[in-house]
């Protein structure tokens, strides 16, 4: 169905803010040196990657930090370092992106999905049941699209059941629950610096933990070539005594170029978080004015980072949802729908992850069938965000008229 519209948004949903001038200068300096490998250092030089690890550790409030090639590699290394082995069941959200169950499968373990609530958070009652039914001893929790469940209750549940928690914080860098940063609850946390995340190095990842032996194993896994003393946020050398003989080299080191452009972004991340949250609030309030749209409730304990926004259309069937996609597209809005039968770009649902056994998830499926998702890049002005909300409401009204 084609729509003729009077107003159209002309911005780009996939273009990120330009890198700070300091990042450009740092990148040029690394390129001029020719020393891109993290261990290719002059005598007495610390290196960009080690500096990034130390600075991120201080900002995150963790004891240790390891920089790697991607968020997906951080997930795989974190699981291996926690002891996940071939055939182990690893629980994770039914609502997540493909790299999360993909990482579980990549280390030879078995993804087992946990239902979500209508507010897109892990269903803790279903988690308790899945732990009991499967005997799983690992939970890779994906804070999908920046929505934190009750982390205090989650950790009480998992600690009581002997379940190790690995946090996927790709969408919650800088978010917190009851004042405690996302990533500081579980045994280890993984962050992404892929272009569409909160810091942009094209690809990249960070792993944080307070466990010295875990980070020693992770460092060897990342491919340290026994040069672990050159890391900026690692444990003392003695901690590596056993790990260096038992962990395989997975060649997942972050290079100096990526670290160099990340450090200036980290220095201004708090300003970016405030800017995202202002944009989120404008769109959220605008969408809440529609009688058809249900926005996502935010608990008082949660301090999010609103770099994307989600909403539900509870009274819409699949055909109406497809028409909404067409109506917003005609208005220049790049909206994603999780109810589609085929994966589209970064958006997919568990039915298309056929490298794992199919699972019965009726509550999640009912939510995904009416769930829409949209990026909020910092290239958008606050006026842009107000217009986008108006155009979405206008499109939804048009479909229902």
pLDDT for the residue numbered 186: 98
Q: Write the CATH number for 155.
A: 3.40.640.10
Query: Which residue segment(s) compose the domain that 310 sits in?
Result: 269-400
110 lies in some domain: yes
What is the pLDDT confidence band of residue 1, given thresholds at 50, 70 and 90?
A: low
pLDDT tens track for 60-95: 999 999 999 999 999 999 999 999 999 999 999 999
The answer on 384 and 289 residing in a single domain is: yes
CB atoms near residue 340 (< 10 Å) = 18
Diameter of the chain measured on Cα atoms? 71
Of 245, 267, 289, which closes a domain?
267
State the burial class of residue 42 (Cβ atoms within 10 Å of its Cβ: 0-12, 13-18, 19+): exposed
Q: Is residue 247 scored above 70 in pLDDT? A: yes
Task: Kindly report the backbone phi and psi dihedral angles of residue 104, in degrees, each rounded to the nearest multiple of 5, phi listed first.
Answer: -60, -45
Tell me the residue ranges of DSSP E strands in 160-220: 164-168, 176-177, 180-181, 188-192, 205-209
The answer on 60 and 176 residing in a single domain is: yes
10 lies in some domain: no
Residue at token pair 């107000």: 386
Q: Are 186 and 160 in contact (CB under 8 A)?
A: no
The answer on 162 and 63 residing in a single domain is: yes
The answer on 326 and 233 residing in a single domain is: no
How many separate domains does the chain show?
2
Of 223, 243, 267, which closes a domain?
267
The answer on 33 and 79 residing in a single domain is: yes
4 lies in some domain: no
Q: Is residue 15 scored above 90 in pLDDT? A: no
If one compares 116 and 343, the residue with the highest pLDDT of the two is 116
Q: Are 50 and 95 in contact (CB under 8 A)?
A: no
The answer on 380 and 241 residing in a single domain is: no
The answer on 219 and 167 residing in a single domain is: yes
Q: Are 309 and 280 in contact (CB under 8 A)?
A: yes
16 lies in some domain: no
The answer on 274 and 259 residing in a single domain is: no
Q: Write the CATH number for 353.
A: 3.90.1150.10
> Tokens standing for 241?
């005594």
Of 267, 284, 303, which closes a domain?
267
> Which whole-number Å values give the CA distances from 50 to 183, 298, 395, in the listed order?
20, 36, 49
pLDDT for the residue numbered 246: 94
Evaluate the CA torsion angle 89, 92, 98, 103 in order and state its sign. Answer: negative
Q: Is 210 helix (H, G, I), strand (E, B) or coil?
A: coil
The answer on 283 and 181 residing in a single domain is: no
Cβ neighbors of 28 (< 8 A, separation 6 or more) are: none
Q: Is residue 4 scored above 80 in pLDDT? A: no
């Amino acid at each position: 169905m084609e729509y003729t519209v009077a107003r159209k948004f002309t911005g780009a949903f996939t273009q990120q803010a330009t890198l700070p001038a300091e990042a450009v200068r740092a990148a040029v300096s690394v390129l001029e040196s020719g020393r891109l490998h993290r261990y290719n250092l002059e005598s007495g030089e610390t290196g960009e990657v080690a500096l990034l690890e130390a600075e991120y550790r201080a900002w995150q409030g963790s004891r240790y930090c390891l920089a790697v090639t991607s968020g997906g590699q951080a997930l795989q290394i974190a699981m291996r370092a926690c002891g996940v082995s071939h055939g182990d069941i690893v629980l994770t959200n039914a609502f997540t992106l493909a790299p999360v169950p993909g990482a579980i499968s990549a280390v030879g373990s078995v993804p087992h999905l946990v239902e979500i609530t209508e507010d897109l958070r892990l269903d803790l009652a279903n988690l308790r049941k899945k732990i009991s039914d499967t005997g799983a001893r690992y939970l890779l929790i994906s804070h999908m699209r920046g929505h934190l469940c009750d982390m205090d209750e989650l950790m009480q549940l998992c600690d009581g059941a002997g379940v190790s928690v690995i946090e996927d914080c790709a969408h919650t860098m800088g978010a917190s629950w009851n004042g405690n940063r996302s990533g500081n609850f579980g045994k280890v946390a993984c962050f992404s610096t892929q272009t569409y995340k909160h810091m942009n190095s094209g690809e990249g990842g960070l792993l944080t933990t307070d466990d010295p032996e875990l980070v020693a194993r992770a460092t060897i896994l990342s491919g340290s070539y026994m040069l672990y003393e050159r890391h900026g946020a690692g444990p003392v050398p003695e901690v590596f005594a056993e790990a260096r003989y038992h962990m395989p080299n997975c060649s997942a080191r972050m290079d100096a170029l990526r670290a160099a452009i990340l450090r200036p972004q980290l220095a201004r991340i708090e300003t970016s978080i405030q800017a995202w949250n202002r944009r989120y609030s404008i769109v959220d309030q605008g969408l809440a004015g529609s009688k058809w749209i249900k926005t996502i409730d935010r608990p008082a304990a949660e301090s999010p980072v609103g770099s994307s926004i989600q909403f539900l259309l509870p009274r819409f069937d699949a055909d109406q949802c497809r028409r909404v996609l067409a109506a917003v597209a005609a208005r220049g809005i790049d909206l994603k729908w999780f109810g589609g039968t085929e994966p589209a770009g970064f958006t997919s649902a568990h039915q298309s992850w056929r490298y794992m056994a199919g699972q019965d998830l009726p509550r999640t499926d009912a939510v995904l069938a009416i769930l829409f998702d949209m990026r909020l890049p910092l290239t958008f002005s606050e006026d842009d965000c107000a217009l986008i909300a108006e155009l979405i409401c206008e499109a939804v009204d048009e479909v229902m008229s």
